Amino acid sequence: MSKPFDMELFLVSVLTGSHTTRQRHLRQAKAIQTAIAERWQRDNPWTWQQKHLAWFLNHHANLHAESTRYYYLLTIQLLTLRLGKSWQFNR
């Protein structure tokens, strides 16, 4: 039995700002993780590709308000920073 991936431990090195901001990023990162795991069965960010995060922005986050999509984009930028990738995403 494997342990679930700890998103908080994964992002701790790139999280900055107030407590509320860090909590929002963690909450959104877990939502992103859940959506990608349900769609592609990849719950570990180290296995994600750019297409997975682009899919999340274009299909899942697209159902939300513009401000919410912006905050998801900020969280995705933190995820790509932590992964050490230079992926760019359109707003």
pLDDT tens, per residue, the chain with 91 residues: 467 889 999 999 999 999 999 999 999 999 999 999 999 999 899 999 999 999 999 998 888 899 999 999 999 999 999 999 999 987 6
Max Cα distance, the chain (Å): 39
Q: How many whole angstroms separate alpha carbon 51 and alpha carbon 2?
A: 26
Cα dihedral angle (51, 35, 46, 90), rounded to 10 degrees?
40
Question: Under 8 Å CB-to-CB from 45, ≥6 apart: which residues?
Answer: 5, 7, 10, 33, 79, 82, 83
Q: What does the pLDDT read at residue 53?
A: 96
Residue extents of the structural domains in the chain: 7-83
> What is residue 2's predicted lDDT score, i.e. its pLDDT?
63
Given this model, what pLDDT does residue 1 score? 47
